[in-house]
Amino acid sequence: MKSRATRLYDWVTAHPPPGPFRRAAWRSPLRGTWLTSVFGLVLLVGLPVVIITGLLSYVAYGPQYGQAFPGDVGWLHLPSFDWPTAWHSLYRVTQGLHVALGIALIPVVLAKLWSVIPKLFTWPPAVSVKQAVERISLLMLVGGILFELVTGVLNTQYDYIFGFDFYTAHYWGAWIFIAGFVVHVGLKLPTMLRTLRTRSLRTELRTSLPATVAEPQDENALAPVAPASASLSRRGLFGLVAGSSALLTVATLGNTVGGGSLRWTAFLSVRGQSYGDGPTDFQVNRTARTAKITPAMVGPAWRLRLTGGGAERVLTREQLLAMPQHTATLPIACVEGWSSVQTWTGVRLRDLAALAGASSPHTTSVRSLEPRGAFNHATYGHGQVHDEDALLALRVNGVDLSIDHGYPARVIIPALPGVHQTKWVTSMDFRGA
Ligand SMILES: Nc1nc2c(c(=O)[nH]1)N[C@H]1C(S)=C(S)[C@@H](COP(=O)(O)O)O[C@H]1N2
Ligand SMILES: [Mo]
């Protein structure tokens, strides 16, 4: 004799609510464990790259100098290290990958969600602890990835419509997503690997629309029980997803690697396409006007103050120009994914340190003329200031800096995230010499 509870359970299971809760309502012949596994494999390879480059960005900001966003992350802080300068394009590549790959994977994420949507309506919802854990991890996974994609894209579009700090949200969201991702991979990896062997991608890519039939039924309950005839082949679906990714990649590419010849392709770029004349016509993050920098502030009265060493100094721009000048071709690589490589000329930061009586400072902090905000100061580690290409730039591409690019003087350090390439520098403080 079955118990009362078991009979009730059997009855509930046999009587799903109408509509999407009935498996027969899902009729696309493309849905099935194999299709989901293909998208799963792409994400399994791609998402860890997005995760790792994202976490590296946090480290590159220099949390050890109190300048990472979000500031206090409690036990979720990452081990920090001094971001190296040896490879000039390091942040350009890690952050370019983070943004470009994150955007390119959007169609794959959507396709995978589409492929498993009947699972959202599984009936009965959850009957065991294991199922409940699985469903909570799915909520973290799906909610997390959608949240990260939306906030990430809006940030590159400079559209801070949400009423919270982007970095804080994106960082915490990332950890929720990572937790869901790890649990999900742990649970589903064997199924994915097993299922991928049941069909050949090559054959699928050669299968025409009329020959497209549903996958066989299995315990994952993704293949339709009552398939409609196909209106799109698997080949067509893969083409649609890959084509969308390619389009999005092209649309962000000019932003990410361009700055010059490819800029016209960056039709997703929200910034204007021109920023000045000739040599100073390259991407501007925030203009002097937005930063409340007036021509008077950067006129003849401007001085650079060097403190913290044995010999405090106050220098005019002419005095800086009279010091040994060094030229280096270095990128500005913004967290938003775009970067631009220019040829900068100015005084080596280590020469300025020596001039101020600090031959080998442990940390160097700069301040900008900019009155307010998170951009008006930055701190650098020993290696960043001692790199032979680390400059207080006075000129770019053979001409004086334009006011939008930081005239009279700006910091430019190899591989440093753009946010710390401080413009309109007014003082430098050397510590721990
Ligand atoms: N003082 C100041 N420095 C700043 C900024 C700023 O807003 N104010 N923006 C930073 C950011 S986020 C970037 S990406 C670079 C961009 O430099 P650019 O405008 O010359 O391209 O400058 C950095 N330096
Ligand atoms: Mo930036």
Condensed to tens digits (0 to 9), the pLDDT of residues 365-398 reads 999 999 888 789 999 999 999 999 999 999 999 9
Is-contact 429 381, C-beta < 8 A?
no
Residue 332 Cβ < 6 Å to ligand 1 = yes
The residue type at 154: L
pLDDT, tens digit (0-9, with 9 covering 90-100), for 172-209 = 999 999 999 999 999 999 999 999 999 999 999 999 99
φ/ψ (deg, to 5) at 190: -60, -45
Ligand nearest to the CA of 155: 2
pTM as predicted: 0.92
Place of tokens 């942040």: 91
What pLDDT, on a 0 to 100 scale, did the predictor assign at position 421? Answer: 97
Mean pLDDT of the chain: 91
111 Cα to the center of ligand 1, angstroms: 37
- pLDDT for 1 equals 67
Percentage of residues in the chain having pLDDT higher than 90: 70
Angle, CA 261 vertex, CA 256 and CA 267 arms, to 5° = 55
Q: What is the pLDDT of residue 125?
A: 78
Q: Which residues pair with 339 in a beta bridge?
A: 333
- Given this model, what pLDDT does residue 384 score? 97
Ligand 1 pocket test, candidate residues 419, 424, 426, 428, most atoms within 8 A of CB: 419
Q: Which stretches of 166-311 are assigned E, i.e. beta strand?
A: 304-307
How many angstroms separate the CA atoms of 200 and 192, rounded? Answer: 14
pLDDT band at 133; cut points 50, 70, 90: confident
Q: 240 C-alpha vs ligand 2 centroid, how far in Å?
A: 33
pLDDT digits (tens, 9 = 90+) for 146-166: 999 999 988 876 655 555 678
Of all atoms in ligand 1, which is nearest to the CA of residue 284?
19
Compute, in angstroms, the gap from residue 45 CA to the centroid of ligand 2: 28
Please give the residue that has the higher pLDDT: either 272 or 23: 23
pLDDT of residue 168: 84
- Of all helices (H) and strands (E), which one includes residue 238? helix 234-253
CA angle 225, 228, 231 (to 5 degrees): 140
Q: Which of 64-73, 186-195, 330-339, 383-392 is predicted with the least confidence, judged by mean pLDDT?
A: 64-73
What number of residues does the chain have?
A: 433
Predicted pLDDT at 167:
83
